[in-house]
Amino acid sequence: EIVLAQSPGTLSVSPGERATFSCRPSQGVSSLHLAWYQQKPGQAPRLLIYGASTRATGIPDRFSGSGSGTDFTLTISRVEPQDFAVYYCQYYGGSPITFGGGTKVEIK
Amino acid sequence: QVHLVESGGGVVQPGRSLRLSCAASGFTFSGYAMHWVRQAPGKGLEWVAAISFDGKNKYYADSVKGRFTISRDNSKNMLDLQMNSLRVEDTGIYYCASEPGRGQAISGVIAFNRFDSWGQGTLATISP
């Protein structure tokens, strides 16, 4: 099973700042099988990035993903008020599918 | 536009059963694999089960294997999750999710895809 370690657990940022957070698989994975989701309170998760770096339909270009192997990153270039949420990475390259523990982005 | 609507949640005692359903619309349901994902109160996401486009291949998290059964009826665009021998730790919101792949094994290796649509979830509470 691929365990995904996300850091930090919580990230405090001000609107307009850059936010960067990490997802580290327990073993190297193909970037084809790494996704990022955003979840706001009381809502279902929403796909942001798949294949490590491809934005999903309708996702603004301030969101970007990068990385390979055992080190992946999600970056929000300039955080907007609607971006305060929890972000999860996901590995979907096999069974079981796994999620990281999440990074909460809160207002500083 | 893809629309997924879960139902069937409720409050049950440990050891009892619950059957969740997910009604799908807005896409060719029979062409794609489907998943269940759960979220315990205040916790993160946990993948529960997956089923291939034709229902022939099913996959489960170790935590539910032998207790939960995923199934689908492509004639009705419905996905189900039969949950037996429920435990307190099964409590949570259960989401169904669709992916753009078929959920087939290729050369014996299963390859899933990203979850591009999610339902709003249904809450299952297991409590004495």
Residue where the block lists tokens 């909460």: A104
Do B35 and B50 meet the contact criterion of CB atoms below 8 Å apart?
A: yes
Q: What is the pLDDT of residues B69-94, one digit of tens each?
A: 999 999 999 999 999 999 999 999 99
B108 pLDDT band (50/70/90 cuts)?
confident
A79: closest CA of chain B, how far (Å): 22
Q: Is B60 helix (H, G, I), strand (E, B) or coil?
A: strand
- CA proximity to B18, closest of B7, B5, B28: B7
- Residue A25 parent element (H or E): strand A19-25
Round the CA-based radius of gyration of chain A to a whole number and report it.
13
CB contact B74 to A (< 8 Å): no
Q: Which residues contact A32 (CB under 8 A, 6 or more apart)?
A: A51, A52, A93
DSSP β-bridge partners for residue A71: A68
Do A74 and A87 meet the contact criterion of CB atoms below 8 Å apart?
A: yes
Whether the predicted pLDDT of A13 surpasses 80: yes
CA distance B70 to B81: 5
Q: What is the pLDDT of residues A73-103, one digit of tens each?
A: 999 999 999 999 999 999 999 999 999 999 9
pLDDT score, position B104: 81
Number of other residues whose CB lies within 10 A of the CB of residue B102: 17
Angle at B62 between CA B70 and CA B113, to 5 degrees: 60
With an 8 Å Cβ cutoff, are B116 and A88 in contact?
Answer: no
Q: Please give the C-alpha separations between residue A25 and each of A72, B85, B128, in angstroms, as whole numbers.
A: 8, 32, 37
A93: closest CA of chain B, how far (Å): 6
Do A67 and A52 meet the contact criterion of CB atoms below 8 Å apart?
A: yes
Q: What is the pLDDT of residues B28-57, one digit of tens each?
A: 999 999 999 999 999 999 999 999 999 999
Residue where the block lists tokens 């700042």: A17
User: Which residues of chain B neighbour A97 with C-beta distances below 8 Å?
Assistant: 35, 47, 50, 112
